[in-house]
Amino acid sequence: MKKIIFTFLSFLLISSATYAQKGINFNRSYAGGGRLLMFLDSTAKNVYYGTTFPNLDNTSFSYLPGENSVSINTYFRKNDRVEDYRYTILIDNTPLTVNKSIDIKELKTVDHAGEILRTTSLGDFVIKGTAITVLIYSINNPLNIQKSVFYGKQFPKAKITAFLKNFTTDKGFDSSWIFDPEEKSDFTFTEKDLDLTLVKDKTDIDYLYSTSIKDKQTNKIIFESTAWNYSIISEDESALLASVKIDKNVFRKSGDYEIIIQPLMNWKHCWECGISAKEIESYISRYTLSVTLENESYSQKEVWTYVGLACSILGILSGLTMVYIKRKNKKKLAEKEQQENIAKLQLSSIRSQLNPHFLFNALAGIQNLMNKNEVDNANKYLTKFARLTRTVLGDKELISLSQEKKLLDDYLQMEQLRFGFKYEINQAQDLDLDNVEIPSMLLQPFVENAVKHGVAQKADDGDIVVSFIRQANNLVLTVADNGNGFDTDKPNKGLGIVLSNNRIALLNRIYKENHFTLAMQSSDKGTKISITLTEWL
């Protein structure tokens, strides 16, 4: 009997007793998220489907710990323009299908409670021991990507690899490390301490985990976070790590606190649930912090001091003056830190917009080569694109000039396959590319603009020159092309250039001792972009 169910998350569930694909009897179906259905064998158990996350609006996660195979379908409603949709399938982050359109001829029509739906299979897959990611978007709204992850592996239990305590010194800021912490660690916070950062190894499903801190005296949660910061913060700078920063003021008093890192799974939202409480507990990491606050004893002493000073008007006035000045300075410091944090968040937001902008342009390049039947070039393009993607999707704000050069070299080689132009990347002999860092992808949008709006139409006659120049203590980065140029007095509406202009403005707010200057020169003989980083070297 055919059975149709809707959940409150608007995921479509269809039971398909008549489904038989490649010899597998798929007669149970679950929401994979967005426009996807997954079909499983009738013996399926412990299927946790369609989990969503507060910090990822268009991502769903389905956990299939005991399944061997899965069939994935997509569906469309009557008014959907199927020809506008594209999908990408990744197996353990390795592309299987990239930017592929829906085969309209393969669509089948089903009647769902009086509504006509069109559906087609994206394939049957072995899910055991692997992860399958499906990305679907409409070319009319390419930034609105619906991402569904089907996870057949065992959850990696989160492990804290280090604690980092940041504090102020007479010379500025410093930090201390505790590597491979035990289940219980001791910390003493003084007035000079700022925060405590817990660090763990980065995984592809970090978004699945939340971090919370519980006061073991009151049994209340005093801190929660569902997001991770990614950066190279280890002493040897060898790995990209995930971290959560905890302000020291979270700890109101001395005592024991419990750090809890656990998956954001709704263990009750599943089919044929049989998971035990003990197994759920095995996915949760718990650490105890024994916290000592030095300013607690100072606060008690301060109370008695104020009582003694109450005998003298001069003492009271002196005490009030000291408190006022201290609070005023603390407020100024907090406001300054808040402004810097806001600027960093805005900078991170711009980076998150630049990455998909670059990736979708690159995917369009692959599609263009395939449409022209240049299969060899498309394969070469895809190989370079895969390597380049790992760099672009990294969350490092600063990278070395040698890394930036490699990124630009890979990108220009890719586009050279399409347009045939010539290029070169020059550097000053007195520049140590490995030891000079700049904001990542600082030049890439301008290089992309030089390719698409400068030399794309010139083919073999096109020429692009990228230069890294040292002028005293200033670093000058230039991108020049021999295209037809543009009117620099008119506002540029290109997304990459607009985002880059905003990014440079934010960098000037963060790096106040330096200054980033962007200059554009353009004529009918070509365009030159210059970015000067003053007192950078």
pLDDT at position 149: 92
pLDDT tens per residue, range 295-316: 764 445 545 665 666 677 777 8
Spatial contact of 246 and 197, defined as CB atoms under 8 Å apart: yes
pLDDT value at position 34?
Answer: 59
Contacts of 192 (CB under 8 A, 6+ apart): 167, 168, 169
- Cross-sheet strand order for the sheet of 220-225: 184-189, 285-293, 255-263, 209-215, 220-225
Beta pairing, strands 463-471 & 422-427: parallel
Are residues 384 and 410 in contact, defined by beta-carbon separation less than 8 angstroms? yes
Please compute Rg for the chain using Cα positions.
28
| pLDDT at residue 424, as a whole number | 95
Q: What pLDDT is attached to residue 331?
A: 64
Element (H, E) at 278: helix 277-282
Q: How far apart are CA 407 and CA 399, in angstroms?
A: 10
pLDDT in tens, 369-383: 777 777 777 777 777
What's residue 132's pLDDT?
94
Q: Confidence class of residue 2 from pLDDT cuts 50, 70 and 90?
A: very low
Q: Are 151 and 131 a contacting pair, CB within 8 Å?
A: yes
pLDDT for 265: 85
For the CA atoms of 262, 263, 265, 271, the dihedral, rounded to the nearest 10 degrees, stands at: -100
Q: Is the pLDDT of residue 122 over 70?
A: yes
Residue 188 CA to residue 255 CA, distance in Å, equals 11
* Alpha helices by DSSP H, 420-494: 444-449
The whole model's pTM is what?
0.49
The residues near 67 (Cβ < 8 Å, ≥ 6 apart) are: 40, 41, 44, 47, 127, 128, 152
More confident residue, 241 or 26: 241
- The average pLDDT across 50-67 equals 84
- Confidence band for 472, pLDDT divided at 50, 70 and 90: very high
Q: What percent of the chain has pLDDT over 70?
A: 80
pLDDT at site 10: 29
Question: How much is the mean pLDDT over the chain?
Answer: 80
pLDDT class of 78 with cuts at 50, 70, 90: confident
Secondary structure class of 238 (helix, strand, coil)? coil
Which domains, and CATH codes, for the chain? 4-151 (no CATH), 160-311 (2.60.40), 338-534 (3.30.565.10)
- C-alpha–C-alpha distance, residues 77 and 35, integer Å: 10
Distance CA 250, CA 427 (A): 48
pLDDT at residue 133 tops 90 = yes
140-174 pLDDT tens trace: 988 888 999 999 998 888 888 888 888 898 888 88
For the beta carbon of residue 282, count every other beta carbon within 10 angstroms: 12
Higher pLDDT, residue 125 or 341: 125
pLDDT bin (cut points 50, 70, 90) of residue 55 is confident
157 or 133, which is more confident?
Answer: 133
Centre a 10 Å sphere on the Cβ of residue 32 and count the other Cβ atoms it contains.
28
> Per-residue pLDDT averaged across 426-430, rounded?
91
Q: Token match 């000291």: residue?
A: 322
* Alpha-carbon separation of residue 413 from 179, 327, 362, 381, 529 (angstroms): 41, 57, 12, 8, 20
Give 527's pLDDT tier (boundaries 50, 70, 90). Answer: very high
How large is the average pLDDT for residues 432-447?
A: 88
User: Is residue 495 predicted with pLDDT exceeding 90?
Assistant: no
> When comparing pLDDT for 108 and 268, which is higher?
108
C-beta of residue 456 within 8 angstroms of C-beta of residue 529: no
Contact 286, 183 (CB under 8 A): yes
Report the range of poorest mean pLDDT among 239-243, 268-272, 346-350, 500-504: 346-350
State yes or no: pLDDT of 186 exceeds 80.
yes
pLDDT of residue 332: 63
Q: Which residue in the block uniquely carries the two structure tokens 């039971």?
A: 15
What is the percent of the chain where pLDDT is above 90?
Answer: 27
Position 469 pLDDT exceeds 90: yes
